Amino acid sequence: AQTVTQSQPEMSVQEAETVTLSCTYDTSESDYYLFWYKQPPSRQMILVIRQEAYKQQNATENRFSVNFQKAAKSFSLKISDSQLGDAAMYFCAYMKTSYDKVIFGPGTSLSVIP
């Protein structure tokens, strides 16, 4: 069964600095999708970034980028120029292609220090 692990329950970063959140996953599939979701204090889940496993190029969305290492089954999220609004719980997620369920990791709580 596929699993998603986030080994950092809590992280903190100084405002304007860069932080990297770690995620590893376990799968025997060669084609799949990976996601990072953000859950701010309002608890609204927001899709931050998405990566297709068959694409070697790392996805980027403004200040958010990923480091996708397929062989290592690693999918880290880098947040550059951290802002106070980035403070949230971040969830790494996996989805097997053509299979509709998304599996979420346990989450990393990110604090941004002014």
Footprint of other proteins on this chain (CB under 8 A)? 33, 35, 37, 42-47, 50, 52, 91, 93, 95, 97-107
Pick 56 or 101: Cβ nearer other proteins? 101
Pick 87 or 95: Cβ nearer other proteins? 95
Q: Locate tokens 């600095």: which residue?
A: 17
Q: Locate tokens 């970063």: which residue?
A: 13
Q: How far is the CB of 49 from other proteins (least distance, A)?
A: 10
Pick 21 or 105: Cβ nearer other proteins? 105
Q: How far is the CB of 92 from other proteins (least distance, A)?
A: 10
Pick 18 or 51: Cβ nearer other proteins? 51
Is residue 101 classed as helix, strand or coil in its secondary structure?
coil
Q: 49: which residues sit within 8 A by CB, 6+ positions away?
A: 35, 36, 59, 60, 61, 64, 65, 66, 77
Q: How far is the CB of 17 from other proteins (least distance, A)?
A: 26
Dist. CA 57–CA 78, nearest whole Å: 15
Q: How far is the CB of 77 from other proteins (least distance, A)?
A: 14
Q: 106: which residues sit within 8 A by CB, 6+ positions away?
A: 5, 6, 9
